[in-house]
Structure 1
Amino acid sequence: MKNLLVWVVIIMLLGALYNGFSNTDANIETIPFSDFKNAVAAGTVSEVKITGQDVVGKFTSGEQFKTTKMAFDLNLADFLVEKNVKVVVEKQDSGMLLGTILSWLPFILIIGFWIYMMRQMQGKGGGGGAMGFGKSKARLLNEQTERKTFEDVAGIEEAKEELEEVVDFLRDPGRFTKLGGKIPKGALLVGPPGTGKTLLARAIAGEANVPFFTISGSDFVEMFVGVGASRVRDMFEQAKKNAPCIIFIDEIDAVGRHRGAGLGGGNDEREQTLNQLLVEMDGFEANEGIIILAATNRPDVLDPALLRPGRFDRQVVVPNPDKNGREKILQVHSAKVPLAPDVELTVIARGTPGFSGADLANLVNEAALMAARRNKKVVSNKEFDDAKDKIMMGSERRSMVMTDDEKKMTAYHEAGHALVSLMCKHLDPIHKATIIPRGRALGMVMSLPERDQYSFSRGKMHDQLAMAMGGRVAEEICFGEEEVSSGASGDIQAATDLARKMVTQWGMSEKLGPVLYTENQQEVFLGHSVAQSQNMSDETAKLIDAEIKRFVEEGYERARTILTEGREQLNQIGEALLEYETLTGDELKVLIKTGKVERKEPEAPKPATTVSAPTTGPQTAEPKDDQNDADAVSTEGDKAE
């Protein structure tokens, strides 16, 4: 309809232009009709051409004129013939007809636009037009062509078992209702990004073989107040027509945040949308046969009314997988990848603690891309090791030009980290030390955890502080106070953050005791992020600062003691890094014992993690996720640009 209307308008405009340019009478003098009849009566008109109401003629003097005859003057032709005027009568041409149509064009367009808008308001114009704001954006997935099942989900067995009951409800609800059980209203999938929450929701729909509506939390919220609530109502109306079915709301925290937490009261669009969602999920009118699945990585910001039983009856935690889970995920993603005989997925899984399912999928993909660039027919363990290094540390920057002094400073800086790490018994074994620039770092030391770690001891944290200060101390010992560079800025920042958590959150200060002195939550006020009141006295704040400084300085002095006593080993590691650029953990151990490097073909290289300040605190079980807190303590921030 719209395309046809556009073409009609274009054709009319072209016709009007043609009619305007083809009008040859534009320069002829126009005279009143009364003067025309007087001239005919006086015998000064020689010939006339009549076309419709238009009259074009010529005087006996040769001058041309034009006029418009009166419609009721039916005897004009006889009058002209009587006065011996040559008369020519023509039919009205298409150009004149087009001109008449163009004169009515504005009215035609207004009427057509009004009809179009009415059709949109009645929902007959396709549902996505100008008046379709309140229509739901939920998409109905076709599980026949893109069906997922629990076999496609690996590494999160506990979460699958918890959701299998939902599938049983959808398959055979009578088995539960005859015992008085009610079908659950909803399940909230909670977990870090990339753990497979969306995939798990699709697997539930595929196993139950029911309609599956999917929508994002941000799709509800628009700039017009009331649109989100209208979309919620329309979504549930569609779901009722397809019951039993599943509605999956991804990133529900976009619409389900605490009400009244921000400025402007409780009448904004997001809160109205949340209110409508709460009513639809569990209000006066029951929505039988509709199960709501939602996913978020921020359950702490959701409104309590959304989390109560009757709306989200169960919360399913989808964590980062453990070693066995990572191995199963690697098997799924590498099923279509030709692997070399030296690839051991068990070893790769052991060396990737904290990796999510998305991280492991990216690891397999990067390894396959590297093998293709190297013109290999299979993906070997070398590609997996290089892909892991690229993901965790960035691409190598071998083209970067460094002076000999800068390269030597970097080598001894990393040697300081490596030697302190080797001398501290609580730290993870070193996997690799390198001075090849990667990402933003000019060098780094990496460690390989021997197992998944869910808590960390006080001794390990103090070892981390000492190792973090090892690079700065090595620069002071080898080059003097005046030559110390800014390369340890990342180490200092991460060590300070670690010490602050030890003092204020983890209760590891004898003077302050096991008391929480700070909150991680922040509020936004007028565009500025401000920390919540910490409810402490000035004396306590001063004591916290003093304890943080003491922890860092103790690590600094411990690193100085280790490196001063092992100055010979420090020089050996520094010179070896200058010569070989990269040393493995085994080579470093042999080097400090024998004083020389024994090169050999590395066995299956193991994925690595950065040896730095504690990657997490005792209360967390996700080492990789918390590397952001102290990611560059040992090396990645060591000489950061």
Structure 2
Amino acid sequence: MGNARNIAFWVVLLILVMALFQLFSGGQTTTSSRSLSYSEFIERVDAGQVSGVTLDGERIVVRASDGNTYVAIKPQGEVVTEALTRDLIAKGVDVQAEPQAQSGFMSLLSLWLPFIVLIGIWLFFMNRMQGGGRGGAMGFGKSRAKLLTEKQGRVTFDDVAGIDEAKEELEEIVEFLRNPQKFSRLGGKIPKGALLVGPPGTGKTLLARAIAGEAGVPFFTISGSDFVEMFVGVGASRVRDMFEQAKKNAPCIVFIDEIDAVGRARGVGMGGGNDEREQTLNQLLVEMDGFEANEGVIIVAATNRKDVLDPALLRPGRFDRQIHVPNPDIKGREKILSVHARKVPLGPDVDLRTIARGSPGFSGADLMNLVNEAALMAARVGRRFVTMTDFEQAKDKVMMGAERRSMVLTDDQKEKTAYHEAGHAIVGMNLPKCDPVYKATIIPRGGALGMVVSLPEMDRLQMHKDEAKQRIAMTMAGKAAEIIKYGEEGVSSGPVGDIQQASGLARAMVMRWGMSDKIGNIDYSEAHEGYQGNTAGFSVSAETKQAIEGEVKSLIDEGYETARRILLEKADDFERLAKGLLEYETLTGDEIRKVIAGEALGGSDDGDKPASGGGTTSIAAIPKTRARAPKPGSDPEPAPL
């Protein structure tokens, strides 16, 4: 729209310039002729050198016999004009008369019109430079909020699934806008703001679009980064302008996405009170709940970093409601899958509940990506609809990475990988608090040469001490398996990912979760930023540091000994599973149990099985630690020697 206006402006300007050029050039054609005095004109008429004249007011345009044109000015008076006309006709001169060129007003207008046009163009440009146009040279102080109008692709609450509690909170705000009397008759006031808080991909922006589709009121949308500019005071100016627009369109909704870009706590970092971002935040706080009330303007904001927001921004009166948008549970995942599968032709064997149960911890964005990957895989092989096999392959790709079948492994590397992954699987299946083994593979995926994936039977909300210990044991089972099979000197660099993950989990137990009797219920993680694998920077005594590292080592050693004991006790199962992985490369949980029991796999075609990829991976929702370990049990490629 803005480009069309700019093009139209330049077209009009070009036409005006051409008109002015024509005006001036036209005037010059009449005045560029040679002048002739009235006496010379009479002499030439008497001499027969004039073939014709044109009488134009006081001017006489003389056409000479030699083809030249002259201009003479005749004396004023009607008597002179009549006498001159008779003499010219009598001498055979062709006489033509033109109407009076212009009245006094039109003559004055033609004289001043070019100046008026030029002044108008100058005023137009000055208006744009001073902010009269939002895209002008000086228009950076204007708000960049866009009025959302979704004539096509309109999103409603029917398109939002899996976050029912958050949806109910926002449905009440929409109802307030539609029918305010229902609440105001009991003294209720419309909420001034709602803050959507949740991990990335849970549907915060989608919820905001659903509000726009349901509310039926003006909906302005802007990103938090749009307020921040290199010029001092620009952010505050944009906040003021945004609220001015909102007040003109009240009742309305203003959605600020990623508000943490502008709403971070003040007084933190460089800049102090004069920091541009802090001044923008100050203006936002004043506009939301300051001396002048903004009636009918509701602010909806979204962030996944509530911990960094300024406390003044979070108090009631500014954001009256803080709505948590979590990752969906199994019922929510099934609803989300059904929403995204509406436009996908599903095969008769597809069970969305089974897919939802096998994807714990997935966000709404992850599930949308899962459905899309399944559709792409079905299209790749030329199917007319998406089958359950496509969903299984897509889930493996999302969870474990794409297969790297082009990677050539030697027989020795494949064998070591098979025994390594068999160790993870055997220990995981013999520890009751470990999640059930979902799949094992020795096909390289991503940076892993092999992988064992375990999935919880239900969504995990907590981690208990015995569960954490058994998970460490399952993680260390890969190294224990290699040592049992090949000896201390035959161990490879494959367990590096297992060691990183076990160390991160053990440090979380000791330093954050209070699961060590020697260390006690003290959170040491804040005293040592980035404590995973790095012991520098402790702000505690050397004795405490030594005690923490001793407890971490004790937990890992205990897990290793548990894994070693189980593998020695289940030596036959361990050997059978390793050979089964060498033969089939990929085994599901049921197939693993059949291989251990010595049963045939029943004609399963390796090409038709869902392909998977590599180490031990648990998709359970583990409480977050500061350690950023790789996927549990993933085995990176050995570094070249």
Tell me the TM-score normalized by structure 2. 0.78
Alignment correspondent of 1:120: 128
Question: Of 557, 561, 573, which aligns to 1:557?
Answer: 561
Question: Of 531, 541, 553, which aligns to 1:537?
Answer: 541
How big is the shift at 1:266?
Answer: 1.6
The 1:200–1:182 alpha-carbon spacing in structure 2 relative to 1, beyond 3 Å, is same
> Is 1:290 aligned with 2:289?
no
The 1:8–1:472 alpha-carbon spacing in structure 2 relative to 1, beyond 3 Å, is farther
How big is the shift at 1:570?
Answer: 2.3
- Output one character per residue of 1:478-532: Cα deviation in whole Å (capped at 9) or x when no partner: 2232232211111111110000000011111121122222229969xxxxxx999
Asked if structure 1 preserves the Cα contact closer than 8 Å seen for 2:422 and 2:577, the reply is yes
Alignment correspondent of 2:593: 589
Alignment correspondent of 1:446: 453
Asked if structure 2 preserves the Cα contact closer than 8 Å seen for 1:444 and 1:638, the reply is no
Superposed CA RMSD: 3.8
- Output one character per residue of 1:243-281: Cα deviation in whole Å (capped at 9) or x when no partner: 000000000000000001011212111111100100000
Alignment correspondent of 2:390: 383
After superposing the two structures, state which structure 1 stretch, 423-432 or 593-602, moved more. 593-602
**In the aligned structure 2, how far is the partner of 1:520 from the partner of 1:248?**
38
**In the aligned structure 1, how far is the partner of 2:611 from the partner of 2:353?**
10
**In the aligned structure 1, how far is the partner of 2:67 from the partner of 2:147?**
68
Alignment correspondent of 1:476: 483
Asked if structure 1 preserves the Cα contact closer than 8 Å seen for 2:400 and 2:614, the reply is no
Alignment correspondent of 2:631: 632
- SS of residue matched to 2:466: helix
Taking the TM superposition and a 5 Å limit, the aligned residue runs for 1:233-632 are 233-519=240-526, 536-594=540-598, 599-600=603-604, 611-612=616-617, 615-617=620-622, 629-632=628-631
- SS of residue matched to 1:349: helix
Alignment correspondent of 1:196: 203
- Output one character per residue of 1:527-549: Cα deviation in whole Å (capped at 9) or x when no partner: xxx99986532211110011111
How big is the shift at 1:639?
Answer: 5.7
How big is the shift at 1:456?
Answer: 2.2
- SS of residue matched to 1:486: coil
Alignment correspondent of 2:155: 148
Q: What amino acid does structure 1 have at the position aligned with 2:386?
A: V
Asked if structure 2 preserves the Cα contact closer than 8 Å seen for 1:518 and 1:534, the reply is no
How big is the shift at 1:568?
Answer: 2.9
After superposing the two structures, state which structure 1 stretch, 126-135 or 172-181, moved more. 172-181
**In the aligned structure 1, how far is the partner of 2:258 from the partner of 2:613?**
31
How big is the shift at 1:199?
Answer: 1.2
- SS of residue matched to 1:315: strand
**In the aligned structure 2, how far is the partner of 1:547 from the partner of 1:182?**
55
Taking the TM superposition and a 5 Å limit, the aligned residue runs for 1:160-199 are 160-199=167-206
- SS of residue matched to 2:139: coil
The 1:10–1:183 alpha-carbon spacing in structure 2 relative to 1, beyond 3 Å, is closer
Asked if structure 2 preserves the Cα contact closer than 8 Å seen for 1:487 and 1:640, the reply is no
How big is the shift at 1:458?
Answer: 1.4
- SS of residue matched to 2:256: strand
Asked if structure 2 preserves the Cα contact closer than 8 Å seen for 1:150 and 1:200, the reply is yes
The 1:452–1:191 alpha-carbon spacing in structure 2 relative to 1, beyond 3 Å, is same
Alignment correspondent of 2:110: none
Q: What amino acid does structure 2 have at the position aligned with 1:245?
A: C
The 1:2–1:255 alpha-carbon spacing in structure 2 relative to 1, beyond 3 Å, is same
Asked if structure 1 preserves the Cα contact closer than 8 Å seen for 2:222 and 2:255, the reply is yes
Alignment correspondent of 2:41: none
How big is the shift at 1:313?
Answer: 0.4
Asked if structure 2 preserves the Cα contact closer than 8 Å seen for 1:432 and 1:446, the reply is yes
How big is the shift at 1:409?
Answer: 1.5
Asked if structure 1 preserves the Cα contact closer than 8 Å seen for 2:442 and 2:613, the reply is no
Q: What amino acid does structure 1 have at the position aligned with 2:544?
A: T
The 1:531–1:240 alpha-carbon spacing in structure 2 relative to 1, beyond 3 Å, is farther
The 1:638–1:454 alpha-carbon spacing in structure 2 relative to 1, beyond 3 Å, is farther
Asked if structure 2 preserves the Cα contact closer than 8 Å seen for 1:252 and 1:295, the reply is yes
> Is 1:214 aligned with 2:214?
no
After superposing the two structures, state which structure 1 stretch, 133-142 or 147-156, moved more. 147-156
Asked if structure 2 preserves the Cα contact closer than 8 Å seen for 1:233 and 1:276, the reply is yes
Q: What amino acid does structure 2 have at the position aligned with 1:304?
A: P
**In the aligned structure 2, how far is the partner of 1:545 from the partner of 1:488?**
20
Alignment correspondent of 2:106: none
**In the aligned structure 2, how far is the partner of 1:608 from the partner of 1:245?**
50
How big is the shift at 1:566?
Answer: 2.8
Alignment correspondent of 1:42: none
> Is 1:226 aligned with 2:227?
no
**In the aligned structure 1, how far is the partner of 2:307 from the partner of 2:604?**
51
Q: What amino acid does structure 2 have at the position aligned with 1:570?
A: F
How big is the shift at 1:453?
Answer: 1.2
Asked if structure 2 preserves the Cα contact closer than 8 Å seen for 1:441 and 1:640, the reply is no
Alignment correspondent of 1:70: none
What is the number of residues matched between the two proteins? 550
How big is the shift at 1:597?
Answer: 5.1
Asked if structure 1 preserves the Cα contact closer than 8 Å seen for 2:451 and 2:634, the reply is yes
Asked if structure 2 preserves the Cα contact closer than 8 Å seen for 1:417 and 1:635, the reply is no
| Identical-residue share of aligned pairs (%) | 61
The 1:446–1:599 alpha-carbon spacing in structure 2 relative to 1, beyond 3 Å, is farther
- Output one character per residue of 1:282-315: Cα deviation in whole Å (capped at 9) or x when no partner: 0000000000000000100000000000000010
- Output one character per residue of 1:310-329: Cα deviation in whole Å (capped at 9) or x when no partner: 00001000111110111011
Asked if structure 2 preserves the Cα contact closer than 8 Å seen for 1:159 and 1:318, the reply is yes
Alignment correspondent of 1:97: none
**In the aligned structure 1, how far is the partner of 2:351 from the partner of 2:467?**
30
The 1:520–1:407 alpha-carbon spacing in structure 2 relative to 1, beyond 3 Å, is farther
The 1:329–1:316 alpha-carbon spacing in structure 2 relative to 1, beyond 3 Å, is same
Q: What amino acid does structure 2 have at the position aligned with 1:325?
A: G
Asked if structure 1 preserves the Cα contact closer than 8 Å seen for 2:495 and 2:635, the reply is no
Alignment correspondent of 2:48: none
**In the aligned structure 1, how far is the partner of 2:204 from the partner of 2:415?**
47
**In the aligned structure 2, how far is the partner of 1:613 from the partner of 1:241?**
53
**In the aligned structure 1, how far is the partner of 2:339 from the partner of 2:313?**
35
